[in-house]
Structure 1
Amino acid sequence: MLLASSSEVDVVLKALCNIKNTVKSHRNINDYKETILAELPDLVNEACSVPRFGLELTPWSNWNGESNPLWWSSYNDVKHQRDIHFDKANLKNTLNSMAALNIVILYYYRELLAQAGEDYQFKDVTKKFQPESSLIKFSDSYYYSLLIAG
């Protein structure tokens, strides 16, 4: 799962960066970081939770400093030397990778919708995600609440 989710992060993050900066070449995670910090700096502070287990995940927080996310480094280690670094394909890194993927998908679709000339809030984007994730969630403010009148 770490390899699959992190590979997808790479694909979606590159597409997001190409939307935000059509001039720059986005070849690797360091290029992505540069564009994200310049164009979408709030992304690095986004959090997801795993409510069932009381976990809070901030998979991009390392980008506030000099290093890349630990889950990303672990993904690369496993991808290139699986026999040596197999222990890094663990639940912690996988959950952080999946949270990172959820965050970049959220931003990517908001940008796609903005290109269509519509101003979308995150809750407008999450409303389009079907089925809604029950494992990894954004904060409640990213969802419309359902009111049932009786």
Structure 2
Amino acid sequence: MKQEFFWPIYSQIEKEFIEVSYCINIDCHQLNVYSIKIADLILRTVSECENIAKAICKREGSEFLDKKGNPIRRTYFPHYMDAIDSIFSIKSKLVSFDFDNADENTFDQKLMPFYREKDGDSLKKWSWYDAYNAIKHDRVENYRKANLNNLINAMAALFLLNIYYSDKVVYDADGFDSYKLMEPIDQLSKVFSIQWSIDLSSYDGRSIGDDKVGFFDPVSYARVASEFSTYLISYDQFVKTDSDKGYDFLQQLQSSIVIANEDGSFTKAYEDIEPTDKKTLVKAVARIPRAK
């Protein structure tokens, strides 16, 4: 079983944030509340963002070149995020603040933690990342930046990066209910949720979840929402299930077994068995799309 290096740390930070919520009533009027505990959580959260962003880039084989095409000697978090955005368009992805122990109107819109507004010819810094660096280098001078608003946005960024690092594929072999399909992803956090929509290339007009559609037009929604969605749901697709992976492993194992002959040569024990790439047709599958 693959060891999880990042989710446990995010889960611990989220747990401590929930504990903070019992001391501070979280609503739109409290977002500028600051404290030593919030400073500690921001430092840990953004440091983890830097680590996981670097890990994603390493997995994807990202290269960092200057304008002349030469390797950049020192790479920093913004370099990593530019590389990740070129693969996943992460800067446009939305995160919902769905925390039960907070006022539902704490934010007037969904969070977009990696979006950067233009400032003349350059781009503005992420406020939560700017706060992190300010607190890290001079906590006394910048302690007011250790506030709930920066913490929540930093945690949203870390949550999103964990989703992309996991790159999990979820599927339903028997049904088309998209809400049921997305439950494993929705259950990853008690504070945040990501956006998902339908991959229109595989959509044929079916319901997206029993009686939850009503007058809602999923096609019109998907045309708008896909840009902001972390997951896209496709229908009637072939995927490699856990059973398929087990079957492929056994086939590869059997095909590699050889028998030693008296003359010193080797013969395959199972001549008719070759490695396979088995996949199963499922009703619905959700994947993280990559930029085209």
In 2: Cα distance, 1:109 partner to 1:63 partner = 28
Give the number of aligned pairs.
Answer: 135
Give the Cα separation in 2 of the matches to 1:121 and 1:43. 20
Match of 2:263 in 1: none
Pick the structure with more helix per residue. Answer: 1
Give the direction of change, closer, same or farther, for the CA distance of 1:45–1:128 in structure 2 (3 Å limit).
Answer: closer
Q: 1:23 offset after TM fit, Å?
A: 4.2
Helix, strand or coil at the partner of 1:49: strand
Radius of gyration: which is bigger? Answer: 2
Tell me the CA shift for residue 128 of structure 1. Answer: 6.3
Per the TM alignment, residue 70 of structure 1 is displaced from its structure 2 partner at its CA by 1.1
Deviations 1:56-110 (A, max 9, x none): 2111011776233111011000011101001111000000000000111101110
Alignment partner, residue 66 of structure 1: 123
Gaps of 5+ in 2: 1-40, 65-71, 172-177, 199-207, 211-292
**SS of the residue 2:192 aligns to:** coil
1:132 to 172, 188, 204: 188
**Structure 2 residue matching 1:83: 3-state secondary structure:** coil
Give identity over the alignment, percent. Answer: 23
> What is the rounded CA distance, in whole Å, between the counterparts of 1:63 and 1:73 in structure 2?
14
Query: Could you tell me which amino acid in structure 2 is paired with residue 106 of structure 1?
Result: I
Secondary structure at the residue paired with 2:188?
coil
Q: How far apart are the structure 1 equivalents of 2:127 and 2:185?
A: 30
Partners of 2:194 and 2:144 in 1: how far apart? 28
Deviates more, 1:93-102 or 1:18-27: 18-27
Q: 1:11 aligns with which of 40, 51, 68?
A: 51
In 1, Cα distance between the equivalents of 2:124 and 2:77? 11
> What's the CA shift string for 1:40-71, capped at 9, x where partnerless?
2x211111111342432111011776233111
Contact 2:93–2:195 (Cα < 8 Å) also in 1: no
Taking structure 2 as the reference length, the TM-score comes to 0.40
Q: Deviations over 1:19-45 (max 9, x none)?
A: 1225447731132133123222x2111
Aligned-partner SS, 1:137:
strand
Q: 1:134 to 1:146 in 2, by over 3 A?
A: farther
Contact kept? 2:135, 2:142, Cα under 8 Å: yes
Question: What are the equivalent positions in structure 2 for 1:5-44 lying under 5 Å apart?
Answer: 5-24=45-64, 27-40=75-88, 42-44=89-91
Q: Which has the higher contact order (CA 8 A, sep 6+)?
A: 1
Instruction: Tell me the CA shift for residue 132 of structure 1.
Output: 3.2
Amino acid of the structure 2 residue aligned with 1:137: S
Unaligned runs of 5+ in 1: 114-119
Partner of 1:116: none
> Which stretch of the first structure deviates more once superposed, 11-20 or 60-69?
60-69
Q: Tell me which protein shows more strand as a share of its residues.
A: 2
The 1:128/1:37 distance shift into structure 2, 3 A limit, reads closer
The AA in structure 2 aligned to 1:14 is K
TM-score for the superposition, normalised by structure 1 = 0.73
CA spacing shift, 1:92–1:33, aligned 2, 3 Å: same
CA RMSD, aligned part only? Answer: 3.2
Equivalent in the alignment of 1:87: 144
The runs of at least 4 aligned residues of structure 1 exceeding 4 Å deviation read 121-126
